[in-house]
Amino acid sequence: MSQFSFATALLSWFDVHGRHDLPWQVADDPYKVWVSEIMLQQTQVKTVLQYFERFIQRFPTVKDLGHASWDDVAPYWAGLGYYARARNLHKAAGIVARQAHFPATREAWMELPGIGPSTAGALMSLGLRQYGVIMDGNVKRVLARFFAIEDDLSKPVHERAMWQLAEQLCPTERNHDYTQAIMDLGATICTPKKPLCLYCPMQAHCKAHQQGLETELPFKKAKKPVPVKSAQVLLIQSEQQWLWQQRPNSGLWGGLWCLPIIEDPTEFTALCQSLGLKKVLQRAEITHSFTHFTWQLEAVCFEVEADQQEHLAIELSGSWLSPETVTSMGIPTAMKKLISAVNL
Distance of CA 81 to the CA centre of its chain: 5
**282-289 and 241-246 strand pairing:** unpaired
Residue (62 or 142) nearer to ligand SF4, CB:
142
Q: Which of residues 139-158 bind ligand SF4 (CB under 6 A)?
A: 142, 145-146
Q: How far is the CB of 213 from ligand SF4 (least distance, A)?
A: 8
> End-to-end CA distance of the chain, in Å?
66
Burial label, 251 (beta-carbon count in 10 A; 0-12, 13-18, 19+): exposed
DSSP state, 26? -
Residue 258 binds to ligand SF4 (criterion: CB under 6 A): no
Q: How far is the CB of 161 from ligand SF4 (least distance, A)?
A: 18
Q: Which of residues 209-248 bind ligand SF4 (CB under 6 A)?
A: 209, 214
Our answer to whether residue 37 is catalytic in this structure is yes
Provide CB contacts within 8 A for 269, sequence distance 6+: none
Residue (203 or 309) nearer to ligand SF4, CB:
203
Binding map of ligand SF4 across residues 285-324, x = CB under 6 A, - = no contact: ----------------------------------------
Instruction: Say how far apart CA 216 and CA 37 lie, in whole Å.
Output: 27
Q: Which of residues 171-200 bind ligand SF4 (CB under 6 A)?
A: 189-190, 195, 197, 200
Please choose, from the candidates 124, 143, 121, the residue with its C-alpha nearest in 3D space to the C-alpha of residue 133. Answer: 121
Q: How far is the CB of 200 from ligand SF4 (least distance, A)?
A: 3
Q: How far is the CB of 122 from ligand SF4 (least distance, A)?
A: 20
DSSP state, 282? E
CA distances from 175 to 32, 105, 180 (A): 18, 15, 9
Distance of CA 193 to the CA centre of its chain: 21
Residue (207 or 283) nearer to ligand SF4, CB:
207
Paired with 257 in beta bridges are: 246
Q: Which of residues 69-88 bind ligand SF4 (CB under 6 A)?
A: none
Instruction: Say how far apart CA 160 and CA 149 lie, in whole Å.
Output: 13
Amino acid of residue 82? Y
Instruction: Say how far apart CA 281 and CA 301 lie, in whole Å.
Output: 5
Q: How far is the CB of 332 from ligand SF4 (least distance, A)?
A: 35
Q: How far is the CB of 190 from ligand SF4 (least distance, A)?
A: 3
CB atoms within 10 A of CB 230: 13
CA distances from 5 to 8, 199, 204, 222 (A): 5, 17, 12, 35
Instruction: Say how far apart CA 186 and CA 217 lie, in whole Å.
Output: 13
Q: Which of residues 197-216 bind ligand SF4 (CB under 6 A)?
A: 197, 200, 202-203, 206, 208-209, 214
Residue (110 or 148) nearer to ligand SF4, CB:
148
Q: How far is the CB of 178 from ligand SF4 (least distance, A)?
A: 15
DSSP state, 226? P
Catalytic residues: 37
Q: Rule CB under 6 A: which residues touch ligand SF4?
A: 142, 145-146, 189-190, 195, 197, 200, 202-203, 206, 208-209, 214
